[in-house]
Copies of this chain bind each other. A is one copy, B any other.
Amino acid sequence: MTVIDIPEGSLFGANNLPYGVFSTAGTEPRVGVRVGDSVLDLSVVFDDPAFAEPTLNAFMAQGRARWDEVRAALQSLVTGDVPAEAVHAVADVELHLPIEVADYVDFYASENHASNLGRLFRPDNPSPLMPNWKHLPVGYHGRSSTVVVSGVDIVRPCGQRKGPNDPAPVFGPSIRLDIEAEMGFVVGVGSPMGSSITPDEFADHCFGAVILNDWSARDIQAWEYVPLGPNLGKSFATSISPWVVPLAALEAARVDTPVQDPEPLPYLKGTEKWGLDIDLEVEWNGHVVSRPPYAQMYWSPAQMLAHTSVNGAATRTGDLFGSGTISGPEKDQRGAFIELTWGGKEPVQVGDETRTFLEDGDEIAISATAPGPDGTRIGFGEVRTRILPAKDAGR
């Protein structure tokens, strides 16, 4: 037996306990929980085949009572003796995509982001926000097949782009490759077709949260997106962090959303607070360029899930929904480079260099922390990705 070392002030103490999927050399992926700088192998410490699976889906499908039971058991386990063979250093394991993604929906829930994008993409429109924006959480379905975990390199996508004065579109590597710093929420227990989930039922369905980077090729997106929304400008990749922080670890982070005016329709109203005081940080080649504040998001994740299901659409274990880019009111709180550089017109300083959009070889790391109980803080870890040059550019 051994005792897991939890460094003083660790973002991964017994107050957090995020779940992930890991493997060590020559072994199969299985479920673990992060404790300090270690991973505790749940397939060893619990007699439950769900933890021997290569994704969290089987465990997530067991429901909230079971999530609470396992969390309570872990909170005492990780502060006592555990089998030595169940403990691995984080540095020694490979982390895998933690969930099998069912449907992926991406929202657009930051008023600052939606307003900035409105000004940039639709400069002739008198109002930067569309008339529907304050009545419903606008969202669209994204591609599940290309959700990848932190550490997976992204190949610069090719596609069609056409500047406003170009006579015809051209094909080639995107020249306006961008990030969107978001939080992602994972559905543990779905809802059958024909039913819906209220905002106050959120915690019975949502298992936890991850950091999400919604890679965006702005030139491809700008040309394709009218009238049916983004497709190839987004579908080439979405990166998430490897640790799913359980909703129960976010109790101390729960805050009111900003005032919603006009008042939302009844199906979007709940009695519980589901704004979340999560602080993100975006590093570009090791230099912090933005600190997006999740607490500023207009729509809560509980409202996003309620909206997704109110028409009777089924939700499933493994559904992932993104918040949309998190941008605060200040320039250095903007979660996408198109906003940070105002469409590429105002380059930002990245160490000794300047940047507008991403260059080949650039590395982006988005990290996040939130308040934990009793003045502690908890961490989401990070989603870190390198940009590789385009392939097939001559097609």
B235 touches A141 (CB 8 A): yes
* Cβ contact of A231, chosen from B141, B148, B314, cutoff 8 A: B141
B139 touches A267 (CB 8 A): no
A236 at the interface (CB under 8 A from B): yes
* Cβ contact of A220, chosen from B159, B311, B316, cutoff 8 A: B311
CB-CB < 8 A to A196: which residues of B? 392, 395
State the number of copies, please. 2
State A118–B227 Cα separation when bound (angstroms): 9
* A and B contact pairs by CB, cutoff 8 A, 28 listed: A102-B145, A118-B227, A121-B227, A122-B227, A132-B226, A138-B224, A138-B227, A139-B228, A141-B143, A141-B231, A143-B313, A145-B315, A145-B319, A146-B193, A146-B314, A157-B311, A157-B312, A158-B310, A158-B312, A160-B265, A193-B237, A220-B311, A225-B228, A225-B229, A228-B230, A232-B310, A236-B311, A267-B395
Q: Among A170, A195, A225, which residue has the most Cβ atoms of chain B within 10 A?
A: A225
A139 touches B266 (CB 8 A): no
A168 at the interface (CB under 8 A from B): yes
A160 touches B136 (CB 8 A): yes
B155 touches A194 (CB 8 A): yes
B391 touches A266 (CB 8 A): no
Tell me the interface secondary structure of chain A in the complex: loop
State A53–B113 Cα separation when bound (angstroms): 46
CB-CB < 8 A to A228: which residues of B? 108, 138-140, 225, 229-230
CB-CB < 8 A to A102: which residues of B? 144-145
A142 at the interface (CB under 8 A from B): yes
> A149 → chain B, closest Cβ, in Å?
12
State A132–B220 Cα separation when bound (angstroms): 11
